Amino acid sequence: MDKEEMDRGIWATWYDLPEEGKEEYITWLHDVHLPKALLRPGYLWAAHVENIWDEARKETLAKRLNHTDDPSVPTGNAYLVLYGAASPYVFLKPRPAQLEANWTAEERDMFGKRIGVRSYIFLETDRLDGPEVNIRPPNEAPGPVVQIGSFNLSKELDEETAMDMYAKIRLPYMAKMTGSVATRKLVSVYGWARHAALYEFASVDALEKNFVG
């Protein structure tokens, strides 16, 4: 990827789907919608991610993470659509509300199946490649498996301390982690969360063994 086309803008949308109509939606998304979206000026790549859960992982994450109880923040989490662009402002020309206003009847029907939709547009502030970075082809989406968390800091943790932790501990640690493709630190320009981290891995096995634990 050319330097001027580095994908520093990320548009992330999480949501759930009902069992009825799920396969129809996924087929349509992959075959119709994502190829159409990639025709928009400035869009570099698209990815559709299904969250992989098991009881052990749910328990581990429940112990480590605090989730907001703000009722205005949607809770969709089963699926994630990602787009990459050189700048986050690509996704604001036109912005999401303008895209939605021009949906076709088919798009309204398909997107109407989604539940708990939450969407953010991020700017990448830093990226450290991992040992497996060479498996990512040029001009393609992130590594085969991703872990992405969006968050606001608690009252007990100030911005300076948190960013110091990322700069001195988390990012250098991830750069050496077995199975890591890359780690990206993100800040939002659109949406509830102020911060996010996107971790790319070569496989689910590498994620489970080296990161989640």
pLDDT in tens, 180-190: 999 999 999 98
- Can you give the length of the chain in residues? 213
Specify the pLDDT at position 62. 47
- Give the CA distances from residue 108 to residues 33, 37, 39, 80, 81, in Å, rounded to whole numbers and listed in that order: 12, 15, 19, 18, 17
pLDDT at 68 over 60: no
pLDDT at 83 over 70: yes
76: nearest Cα among 35, 45, 116: 116
The half-sphere exposure of 116 on its side-chain side, counting CA atoms within 13 A, is: 14
Exposure of 143 by Cβ count < 10 A (0-12 exposed, 13-18 middle, 19+ buried)? buried
pLDDT at 110 over 90: yes
The CATH number given to 3-212 is 3.30.70.100
* pLDDT tens profile 139-161: 678 999 999 988 877 666 677 88
Specify the pLDDT at position 65. 47
Q: Is the CA virtual torsion 163, 140, 86, 94 positive or negative?
A: negative
